[in-house]
Amino acid sequence: VAYAAQSVGIDIGGTAIKAGAITPEGKILAERSVEPHFERGPQAVLDAIADVARELGAREGLGIGVPGLLKLESGFLIDSPNLPGFRNLPVPQEIARRLGCAPEGVRVWNDAKVAALGELWLGAARGERHALVLTLGTGIGGGLIFDGSVYFGSGMAGEVGHIVIDPEGPPCGCGGRGCLETLASASAAQRRALAAGLPASRPGDLKLLADRARSGSEPEAQLLREIGRDLGRGLGPVVCLLDLTCFVFGGGFSAALDTLERGIREGIDERSYGERGSKVRLVPAQLGPAAGWIGAARLAMAH
Ligand SMILES: [Zn+2]
């Protein structure tokens, strides 16, 4: 394994392209956030990504995180339901052509996996051998850390968002019903709050909800405990199978972790063996929205 003096990471999201340059010691040299303008089409978005990469000096190593389904070896993007027009795209070739470098120098992974790598390298999962990094946002992303490394299986390992909790539950973007992300993502929490007659029309209202629960308001506390319990019901089988000792929660809704915690532990206990709910560590992510680009840059460091 050889490390370059710096590497560049880029995290492509639906609302922002986040990027930065960082040394192998973890010193952040520069950070950027660019509007993606998906309405201009995927080629223009790829141009913008290449521009940021060039500006940050991505000559020695470039890693990219993309939400969606990728071919693990080649980084070919099969489909990305949340990025308009991003399907059937050879992302490493497209970027390398724009930068005038070899496609082998551009590493592309799923966004949840690069976020897990970021938290493992410099964030809340540092030193953890068996952990799951969850992103509670529009959906629920998962990056599994197994035996000290991010684990892929055949490419899709860690996708806990589509574990079915309630087969009769709300329809999910994947075509199923009652998936974990239809019950415990930020969007699901908003929907459940509205259904319970609590104000939650904007994503920011989830913070208000958590604040009210903290100050002892029963309806909010009850709802967040129920959402936490559903989350725990999804994590219980994961604990049974993998004996994970730590769950790291990132994404907007993770700011409510303290109000979800009791429910999460109850849900894990309900769906696992040996009172595991009280033993696992539940911790907030530490890198915030930078986890993705930092992990992507780390990915590019190992050749
Ligand atoms: Zn689903």
Q: β-strands 17-22, 7-12: how paired?
A: antiparallel
Residues 6+ apart with CB under 8 A from 259: 210, 213, 214, 220, 221, 224, 225, 228
Query: Residue 83 Cα, ligand 1 centroid: separation in angstroms?
Result: 17
Instruction: Give distance in angstroms: CA of 172 to centre of ligand 1.
Output: 5
How far is 158 from 135, CA to CA, in rounded Å? Answer: 11
Q: DSSP letter string over 263-284?
A: HHHHHHHHTSSSSGGGTSEEEE
- Residue 142 Cα, ligand 1 centroid: separation in angstroms? 13
What separation, in Å, do the N-terminal and C-terminal C-alpha atoms of the chain show? 6
Cβ pair 138, 150 in contact under 8 A:
no
Q: How far apart are CA 78 and CA 83, in angstroms?
A: 12
Residue 3 is predicted with a pLDDT of: 54
- Kindly give the confidence (pLDDT) of every residue in the chain, 303 residues in length, as a single tens digit, with 9 standing for 90 and above: 455 689 999 999 888 999 999 999 999 999 999 998 999 999 999 999 999 999 998 877 899 999 888 888 888 999 887 788 889 999 999 999 999 999 999 999 999 999 999 999 999 999 999 999 999 988 899 999 999 999 988 878 998 999 999 999 999 988 899 999 999 999 999 999 999 999 877 767 889 999 999 999 999 999 999 999 999 999 999 999 999 999 999 988 999 999 999 999 999 999 998 888 889 999 999 999 999 999 999 999 975
Task: Give the pair of three-digit tokens for residue 157.
Answer: 């390992």
Which residues are close to ligand 1, an ion, with C-beta < 5 A?
162, 172, 174, 176, 179
pLDDT at 1: 46
**Distance of CA 163 from the midpoint of ligand 1 (Å):** 7
pLDDT of residue 184: 97
Query: Could you report the per-residue pLDDT of 255-268, keeping only the tens digit for each?
Result: 999 999 999 999 99
Task: Report pTM.
Answer: 0.91
C-alpha 178 – ligand 1 centre gap (Å): 7
pLDDT tens digits for range 100-152 = 999 999 999 999 999 999 999 999 999 999 999 999 988 899 999 999 999 98
Q: Report CA 19 to chain centroid distance, whole Å.
A: 16
Cα 182 to middle of ligand 1, angstroms: 7
| Cβ 8 vs Cβ 63: under 8 Å | yes
Helices 205-214 and 257-270: crossing angle, nearest 10°? 80
- Among candidates 286, 272, 169, which has minimal Cα distance to 226? 169
Q: Are strands 140-146 and 62-66 parallel, antiparallel or unpaired?
A: unpaired
